[in-house]
Amino acid sequence: MARSDVDVKKLLAQMTLEEKVGQLVQLNAMFLGESSAEITGPLEKLGIPQSYMSKLGSTLNFHGAQEMMDIQRKHLEEDRNHIPLMFMMDVIHGFRTIFPIPLGLGASFDPETVKECSRMAAREASAGGVQVTFTPMVDYVRDARWGRVMESCGEDPYLNSVMGAAQVEAFQGDDLADHDNIAACVKHFAAYGGAEAGRDYNTVEISERLLREYYLPAYKACIDAGVKMLMPSFNSLNGVPSIANKWLMNKVLKDEWGFDGVIISDYNAIGELKKHGITDDMRLGAKMAFDCGCDIEMMSSSYYKHLADLVNDGEISEQKLDEAVLRVLELKKELGLFEDPYHGASPEKENSVCLTPEHRDIARRAAEASAVLLKNDGILPLSEDIKRIALVGPFAATNEIKGSWSCNGENEDCVSVYEGIRSLLPNAEIIVAEGCSAKYDELSEEGIDAAVAAAKGADAVVLCLGEPQKYSGEGNSRADIGLPGIQMQLARKVIAANPNAVALTFSGRPLVLTELDKLVPAILHMWFPGTEGGSAAADLLFGRANPSGKVPMSFPKAVGQCPIYYNHPSTGRPKSKPDEIHQPYSSNYIGCGNLPLYPFGHGLSYSSFVYESLELDTDTMTKDSEITVSITVLNDSDRAGKEVVQLYMHDIWASAVRPIQSLIAFEKTELGAHERKTITFKVREPMLRFYDLDCNHISEPGEFTLSTGCADHLVLTKSFTLK
């Protein structure tokens, strides 16, 4: 049956109340396969009988196209209405071909790279049976202790907005029924990234002004980009869990923003209302969530047990239930599932599309674009004529560099640093000495002497350090975000033996690298780069590729600075010299200073970029006019490279305290050797707005500055006045 022939309203009219509720229940695929009848324990715990499985509307956590097709075929045979299931999965940074973690993609400052990666992921995931991805995650983050910073694009709301919208557009394309496209679900609404003390699932307490200014813009950008689905967050926000927060879900999301897509709970989020202490009556919990617009309940049974009774008892109108079911059916129709319930998936297509040379090339280029050269005293790039190289550290030869939330990606698919360098330099002598573990509780020094010996006889040493990939991601918060275990002990001894060493670091978050920064002449940070991480590392280390990434989330000097972020408000007693260690009676850390080790927007290159001028076409703007900003950059070197030109704004006088800087525009541009380019930006009045004390979104007349550079190192500044 063609999509155009499906009348979902007519289909809805023939459904029983129980069948309608079923469309709003989502369970794991383990309950739906051929052997599902054997899985009685988990279903009994949920209180859902096996006979109900034919009425479900969607599922998640299946394994590949064949399982998806088997489940869908069985479901269509058993559902009297022949309504196809929707198959959903967390395709966060790749399906089988894994590209850098989202925080790494944020470091690319390149929406086109994000789109290319997301389109690739959609092709692979769709071939593997996925129709909806729980992506993008656009939670605004300031605290690197939180493990899920790896899923965000960082500490700037504008950057987060641009990258989130890019993912939505790329995943969904122009036609969801196209087999290369899948629907996107923006998450986690709202402020999940503001978890107190950086501890996952923890409470969030922030003012409405702060929420609207920093945390909400990226969700709104994804909605404006047409995202089909939204997921409320686990956390309580100002005392009320998001899934039951009427102000958040109804006033802001529905009334103000007009979101009319499908809302799905996070995993057992409705069930967790009991653990939050909101209610021990899950009938009431189901009503609270439904009243707040939650259409689909994921992996809990409150809707199955209580939604029909709530309708029969008049506590929820059947019209509201019909509207929720209709949203689900319309999304299925838009995906073309009534015409092709498999959405083009097949094992043959999955095998032919995934991990192709073309897709590996996309992953490699993304890893190169995301890497950040944090420090370089001239030692990088290394010469390809080097005869003897020592690869030292726990990340020297490991394939475990894909990162958390990498869907169907396998460690063995990943190119290690050793493999990348071996491929690039087949005639070089490469000595691998792990030296020690990267785990915090494995402290054996047994391998350090061998690592020191390897370093002593090498022409160059690459220290491959970091945190294990399982140390970031959901549920993985860290109180100490330095290099775990005895890696610094290894680094000290190796560098003492051979100071001609560079550090290649891997992580899912900013790390405290203060001591390492003092010891080594160069640090190249790879994040978790994915399938082609080792190939990208080799190209970058030896100059085949030129680093162009910028820090999307500040690297603190010490964990005690967390949360740390560049766009902090002015204070009544600021330090006059922020880089000084101690300044009495000012907002100050003794012995550390206030500045991060590496600020937002920082990132070096093998090219040398000189910012020659910043010009405004007028020094006065009205609410109906605009200012053209022209920034001229010279590549004063013999090497072509890419530079992220960043434009910051500061509102000098306002009725509410404003941040010291705010990123309002950026552009990544390539400059040839000795090439000069002028990048232009248009500044309009809406870009100057903020939320006043009554949460009105306004701008106020007065003086503003526009600057370029990076957050803590602005090299050029001009002023203008808003009339």
Strand 697-698 versus strand 690-691 pairing type: antiparallel
Q: What CATH code is carried by the domain that includes residue 435? A: 3.40.50.1700
475 part of a folded domain: yes
399 with 510, same domain? yes
If 0-12 CB within 10 Å is exposed, 13-18 middle and 19+ buried, where does residue 191 land? buried
| Distance, CA of 437 to CA of 447 (rounded, Å) | 9
416 part of a folded domain: yes
533 with 425, same domain? yes
Domain's final residue, options 530, 545, 561:
561
- How confident is residue 373, by pLDDT bands cut at 50, 70 and 90? very high
Full residue range of the structural domain in which residue 652 is found? 609-722
Tokens of 272: 């967790």
- How confident is residue 34, by pLDDT bands cut at 50, 70 and 90? low
- DSSP designation for 593: -
Q: Which residues contact 576 (CB under 8 A, 6 or more apart)?
A: 583, 586
Q: What CATH code is carried by the domain that includes residue 700? A: 2.60.40.10
Torsion angle defined by CA atoms of residues 235, 238, 242 and 246, in that order, rounded to the nearest 10 degrees: 170
Buried b (16+ CB within 10 A) or exposed e, 435-473: bbbbebeeeeeebbeebbebbeebbbbbbbbbbbbebbb
Give pLDDT tens digits for 443-500. 999 999 999 999 998 999 999 999 999 999 999 999 999 999 999 999 999 999 999 9
Strand 702-710 versus strand 713-722 pairing type: antiparallel
Strand 522-525 versus strand 372-376 pairing type: antiparallel
- How confident is residue 577, by pLDDT bands cut at 50, 70 and 90? confident
Q: Tell me, what's the pLDDT at 614? A: 98
Annotated catalytic residue within 79, 110, 139, 266: 266
User: Is residue 195's pLDDT more than 80?
Assistant: yes
Strand 86-89 versus strand 58-60 pairing type: parallel
Buried b (16+ CB within 10 A) or exposed e, 388-411: ebbbbbbbbbbbbbbbbbbbbbee
Q: Percent of the chain having pLDDT more than 70?
A: 98
From start to end of 355-406, where are the E strands?
Answer: 372-376, 388-392
| Distance, CA of 93 to CA of 721 (rounded, Å) | 43
The verdict on whether 266 is a catalytic residue reads yes
**Alpha helices of 313-380 — where are they, by DSSP H?**
318-334, 347-353, 357-370
Q: Is 598 helix (H, G, I), strand (E, B) or coil?
A: strand
| Distance, CA of 527 to CA of 471 (rounded, Å) | 13
State the chain's mean pLDDT as an integer: 96
Give pLDDT tens digits for 88-101. 999 999 999 999 99
Tokens of 548: 């162009």
Residue 553 identity (one-letter amino acid) = M
User: Is residue 53's pLDDT more than 70?
Assistant: yes
Residue 162 identity (one-letter amino acid) = V
532 with 675, same domain? no
Instruction: State the CB neighbour count (10 A cutoff) for residue 7.
Output: 10
β partners of residue 717: 707
Buried b (16+ CB within 10 A) or exposed e, 133-156: bbbbbbbbbbbbbbbbbbbbbbbb
Give pLDDT tens digits for 509-563. 999 999 999 999 999 999 999 999 999 999 999 999 999 999 999 999 999 999 9
Nearest to 157 by CA among 222, 232, 215: 215
CA distances from 252 to 126, 189, 190, 653 (A): 32, 11, 11, 29
509 with 378, same domain? yes
463 part of a folded domain: yes
Question: Quick check: bond before 563 cis, omega within 30?
Answer: yes
Q: Is 649 helix (H, G, I), strand (E, B) or coil?
A: strand
177 part of a folded domain: no
Greater model confidence, 571 or 356: 356
154 part of a folded domain: no
- How confident is residue 40, by pLDDT bands cut at 50, 70 and 90? low
Q: Which residues contact 97 (CB under 8 A, 6 or more apart)?
A: 120, 121, 124, 354, 355, 356, 359, 360, 362, 363, 409, 413, 530, 531
Q: Is 390:459 a contact under the CB 8 Å cutoff? A: no
β partners of residue 649: 662, 706
Domain's final residue, options 561, 582, 598:
561
376 with 447, same domain? yes
User: Is residue 1's pLDDT more than 50?
Assistant: no
Domain's final residue, options 561, 584, 600:
561
User: Is residue 181's pLDDT more than 70?
Assistant: yes
Tokens of 574: 């600021």
Tokens of 244: 């039951």
Q: Which residues contact 466 (CB under 8 A, 6 or more apart)?
A: 394, 395, 438, 483, 505, 506, 507, 511
Among 134-143, 157-166, 619-628, 708-717, where is mean pLDDT lowest? 708-717
Strand 388-392 versus strand 460-466 pairing type: parallel
Torsion angle defined by CA atoms of residues 700, 701, 707 and 710, in that order, rounded to the nearest 10 degrees: -10
| Distance, CA of 256 to CA of 637 (rounded, Å) | 51
Helix (H) or strand (E) holding 310: helix 302-312
Tokens of 302: 């409150």
| Distance, CA of 679 to CA of 150 (rounded, Å) | 30
Give pLDDT tens digits for 298-343. 999 999 999 999 999 999 999 999 999 999 999 999 999 999 999 9
Give pLDDT tens digits for 348-366. 999 999 999 999 999 999 9
If 0-12 CB within 10 Å is exposed, 13-18 middle and 19+ buried, where does residue 626 land? middle
| Distance, CA of 30 to CA of 684 (rounded, Å) | 52
- How confident is residue 712, by pLDDT bands cut at 50, 70 and 90? confident
| Distance, CA of 187 to CA of 223 (rounded, Å) | 11
391 with 537, same domain? yes
Q: Is 449 helix (H, G, I), strand (E, B) or coil?
A: helix
Q: Is 245:208 a contact under the CB 8 Å cutoff? A: no
511 with 448, same domain? yes
666 with 544, same domain? no
Q: Tell me, what's the pLDDT at 4? A: 59
Helix (H) or strand (E) holding 678: strand 676-684
Give pLDDT tens digits for 444-458. 999 999 999 999 989
Number of separate domains in the chain: 2
Task: Over range 232-244, report the average pLDDT.
Answer: 97
User: Is residue 36's pLDDT more than 70?
Assistant: no
From start to end of 252-310, where are the E strands?
Answer: 262-263, 297-298
552 with 454, same domain? yes
Q: Tell me, what's the pLDDT at 2? A: 43
589 part of a folded domain: no
624 with 543, same domain? no
| Distance, CA of 609 to CA of 590 (rounded, Å) | 35
- How confident is residue 570, by pLDDT bands cut at 50, 70 and 90? confident
Q: Tell me, what's the pLDDT at 592? A: 86
Buried b (16+ CB within 10 A) or exposed e, 342-365: bbbbbbebbeebbbeeebbebbbb
Q: Tell me, what's the pLDDT at 35? A: 58
Q: Tell me, what's the pLDDT at 126? A: 98
146 part of a folded domain: no
404 part of a folded domain: yes
User: Is residue 371's pLDDT more than 80?
Assistant: yes
3-class SS letters over 219-248: HHHHHHCCCCEEEECCCEECCEEHHHCHHH
535 with 617, same domain? no
405 with 527, same domain? yes
- DSSP designation for 454: H
